[in-house]
Structure 1
Amino acid sequence: MNTMPPILYFFALCNLVIGSGAFVLGGILQPMSASLGISVAAAGQAMTAYAVATAVLAPLLIILTARWPRKRAVQLALALFTAGCLVCALAPNLPLLLLGRVLMGAGAMFTAAASALAVSMVVPALRGRALSITFLGMSISYAVGLPIGAWLGFEFGWRVPVWLSAAASGAALAAASWLIPANMASAGTSFAGFQAAARQGAVLRVWGRTLLYFIAIFSVFAYVGPVLHALNPMNSAQLSATLAVFGLAGVGGTLMGGWATDRFGALRTMRVQLAVLVAMMCLLPLTRGSVPATMAVLVLWGIAGFGLMAPQQSRLASLSPAQAPLLLSLNGSMLYVGTALGAVISGALLDHVGFAQLGWVGVPFGLLAMLTLVFDRMPARVPASAAA
């Protein structure tokens, strides 16, 4: 039976709320810094605080709530995220803003918990599609939530999109309390079991692969506005439209990644997607002066980059299903560490290569991510009909 559990679409909606609330500040740093009387660089630490909290606190909370019913764990995650949004919306200064972002980062444990629930609800042959649906909201947040939030922030003040994030997260918390069954059991994550799972070379390669390809991606996207302007000068409306197109490509890539994982297997899917991603990174600097060429490269980049999440998560969950919540949470940690490192590496090389050539900075890291696949063997795949 190929029908997906309806609760997965609710998880996708929650991830849309979390993704939009988490990253919207990146687009409105200027008005936020002016309102709080701080520099733009200092305001940017709000993004760092969220990334660090997600990398450190979310896995810790997964361990501490391992024996809880899943409904309580989800409620805790959404309550923390809502509280963090409220603190940010009310923050009169940078320290309180950072505290709010830390609470939001802790609440981001929801994404790993929801992913683990998704793989537990379907047969193994359908895990890719289940994960792609769950992660779909995060992709949509790039295409819809971020551009709308940035527009609201510039037009009506930076606190408006933050208040909306708080309201949406509170509504998600209320809906979770109603929709998720109270008797949904824990997946049984424990630190002892996690130690055994983490010693597997295949698990370490998944984490390393996530780290490497996010370094590659964010060596460019940490400075995406200046990069696109260097390639083809554009106004703010054109830039927003370009980013929206990239986000929509990411939505399509997320769904295609889930389908391809179930159809061809996680490893085959990742090999193709990483090859496409590296190729687009090589081609991006060559599209200078041609808007259509730049857009075409960005669309393929979005499809390949976002499409990697489902096969990566499916591969990780298949290696140790009982430890999936913590393994997936730490995979999210690698995502945020890679995001930060990509920005640091490209920033250090910026004076030497310039914005237009930043695509080439990430190519070695993309190739290293591809190299990790050499050591993984493809398991025998069970057709969906047989598994059902």
Structure 2
Amino acid sequence: MPRILYFFALCNLVIGSSAFVLGGILQPVGAALGISVAAAGQVMTAYAVATAVLAPVLIILTAKWSRKRAIQLALGFFTLGGLVSALAPDLTTLLLGRVLMGAGAMFSAAASALAVSMVPPALRGRALSITFLGMSISYAVGLPMGAWLGLEYGWRVPVWLSAGASLAVLLAASWLIPASMASAGSSFAGFRAAARQGAVLRVWLRTLLFFIAIFSVFAYVGPVLLTLNPMSSTQLSVTLAVFGLAGVAGTLVGGWANDRFGALKTILVQLAVLTSTMCLLPLTAGNVPATLATLVAWGIAGFGLMAPQQSRLASLSPAQAPLLLSLNGSMLYIGTALGAVISGALIDSVGFAHLGWVGAPFGLLAILTLVFDRAPAACPAVPNPS
């Protein structure tokens, strides 16, 4: 595999940790800025909306740029947003910083498009799994560590560290990425042609649906786990770290399975496992090992979906991969927001312990989108390069 993919993984580790670290420390953020926790929670919404809207626009505006310049712009926006967030004296400034970070999240789509363009089709899954490995690791390492730092030393400490890490990867990108990497050539005209494909629309719809399913529970994962099995804060942190490690494994398994069995078969199995675990989770109340085993299976299946989804999308229109993948990211963040809204509206009636049953129907709908898809002709096997 090209070595630059491991650098992309490092960048995604920084982006994932920086983007979501505030979610674990909203209470100290609210206390420091003199706002409610609910108001502080809007920093997560601002990032999600900015990523969904601005990242695809920036992909188009930088279509004729070299990939190095586009990635420098993305990491530059992300670093500037981190600095603004760390210095923010009020909620308005903090939201501005989060919007800038959301714009910089175009990096993930640009890096994914580069990853699939640098390897043969038979190795796309593994290339994508390496690229997004950092995002998975951020859930297992970056987020728990950032939350601990924020609770112990104040919310600005992990934000400053995140801004410093963003600056470091920006400088490293300027040194490591060859200037000769050409433009991927995305355009509105090409996008319209690609978006007419029903298969493309089904990938986007599937991403939207399974992220609604996942975040129907994960948006409130702390209260859900504490309701199922009362535990200390340390036990909760360890449980979430185990879930994150399962996600790391899932990312690697998803890439391997995509290349071994094909995207559609891999997606079907993982969606079936994900939906089953969401149905089972409420039934594990009072049984910590059962809850943990269900979360591990959920993490492997949920995180493992991204590589085959992206591989499928890139194979449908390779020339438009950057924009298509960016819009797939938009569906991810819209699904994240909708999942939180839907489950939030039903908490009073169903309770935290049963939110898995709120998300499961969306998982079933995601499975139904596969009915109309057919696998493309198999790619010839490519030996794994040493």
TM-score, L = length of structure 2: 0.99
In structure 2, what is the Cα distance between the partners aligned to 1:113 and 1:371? 29
Q: Does 1:277 align with 2:274?
A: yes
2:335 to 314, 338, 358: 338
1:268 pairs with one of 265, 269, 272: 265
Return the alpha-carbon distance in structure 1 between the equivalents of residues 185 and 304 of structure 2.
29
Identify which range, 67-76 or 346-355, moves more after superposition: 346-355
1:189 corresponds in structure 2 to 186
Whether 1:347 and 2:344 are equivalent positions in the alignment is yes
Could you say which residue in structure 1 is the equivalent of 2:157? Answer: 160
Which whole-Å deviations, capped at 9, do the CAs of 1:310-365 have from their partners, x for residues lacking one?
00000000000000000000000000000000001001111111011110001110
Partner of 1:199: 196
Q: Which whole-Å CA distance do the structure 1 matches of 2:384 and 2:131 have between them?
A: 21
Is 1:7 matched with 2:30? no
Asked if 1:63 is matched to 2:66, the reply is no
Q: Which residue matches 1:235?
A: 232
Q: Is the 8 A contact 2:275 2:363 kept in 1?
A: yes
Matched, 1:220 2:217: yes
* Offset of residue 384 of structure 1: 2.9
- CA drift of 1:381 comes to 1.5
Cα 1:189–1:387 shift into 2, 3 Å: farther
Correspondence for 1:254: 251
Deviations 1:138-169 (A, max 9, x none): 00000000000000000000000000000000
* 2:34 is the counterpart of 1:29: no
Tell me the distance in 1 between the aligned counterparts of 2:43 and 2:59: 23
Q: Which amino acid aligns with 1:80?
A: F
Match of 1:130 in 2: 127
Deviation at 1:383, TM superposition (A): 3.3
- Residue 98 of structure 2 aligns to a residue whose secondary structure is helix
Mapped partners of 1:199, 1:385: distance in 2: 31
Q: Which residue of 1 aligns with 2:115?
A: 118
Q: How many angstroms apart in 1 are the aligned matches of 2:379 and 2:327?
A: 27
Distance 2:336 2:29 in 1: 22
- Deviation per CA, 1:358-382, whole angstroms, max 9, x where unpaired? 1000111000000000100011222
Q: 1:387: Cα distance to partner?
A: 11
Q: 1:286 aligns with which of 269, 283, 290?
A: 283
Cα contact 1:249–1:303 (8 A) shared by 2? yes
User: Aligned match of 1:19 in 3, 16, 20?
Assistant: 16
Answer yes or no: is the 8 Å Cα contact 1:119–1:131 preserved in 2. yes
In structure 1, what residue type is equivalent to 2:30?
S
Q: For 2:271 and 2:281, how far apart are their aligned partners in 1?
A: 15
* 1:102 corresponding residue in structure 2: 99
C-alpha distance in 2 between matches for 1:245 and 1:136:
15
- The answer on 1:89 being equivalent to 2:86 is yes
Residue identity opposite 2:376 in structure 1: P
Q: What runs of 5+ residues in structure 2 fail to find an aligned partner?
A: none
Cα distance in 2 for residues equivalent to 1:386 and 1:174 = 34
Letter in 2 for 1:160: V
Alpha carbons 1:123, 1:387 under 8 Å: kept:
no
Q: Does 1:380 align with 2:377?
A: yes
> Is the 1:84–1:103 Cα contact (8 Å) retained in structure 2?
yes
Identity of aligned residues (%): 83
For residue 60 of structure 1, give the secondary structure of its aligned residue in structure 2.
helix
Q: Which amino acid aligns with 2:73?
A: L
Once the two structures are TM-superposed, the CA of residue 239 in structure 1 deviates from its matched residue by 0.6
CA RMSD of aligned residues (A): 0.9
Letter in 2 for 1:183: S
Moved over 6 A (4+): none
TM-score between the two structures when normalised by the length of structure 1: 0.98
| SS of the residue 1:38 aligns to | coil
Native 8 Å contact 1:74 1:110 kept in 2: yes
Are the counterparts in 1 of residues 123 and 382 from structure 2 also a CA contact under 8 Å? Answer: no
- Give aligned pairs, total: 385
8 Å CA contact 1:125–1:387 kept in 2: the answer is no
Cα distance in structure 2, aligned partners of 1:196 and 1:342: 30
The CA distance in 1 between the partners of 2:65 and 2:208, in whole Å, is 30
Q: 2:295 aligns to what?
A: 298
Q: Residues of 2 paired with 1:197 and 1:307: CA distance?
A: 25
Q: Deviations over 1:33-53 (max 9, x none)?
A: 100111101100000000000
CA distance in structure 2 between the aligned counterparts of 1:196 and 1:372, rounded to whole angstroms = 21
Q: Distance in 1 between matches of 2:81 and 2:43?
A: 12
1:96-146 CA deviation, whole Å, 9 max, x = no partner?
Answer: 000000000000000000000000000000000000000100000000000
Cα–Cα, structure 1 residues 122 and 239, in superposed 2: closer, same or farther, change >3 Å?
same
Q: Give the secondary-structure state (helix, strand or coil) at the position aligned to 1:385.
A: coil
* 1:169 paired to 2:175: no
Q: 1:379 & 1:335 partners in 2: Cα distance? A: 24
Q: Verify: 1:316 aligned to 2:301, yes or no.
A: no
Structure 1 residues 64 and 354, CA gap change in structure 2 (3 angstroms): same
SS in 2 for 1:68: coil
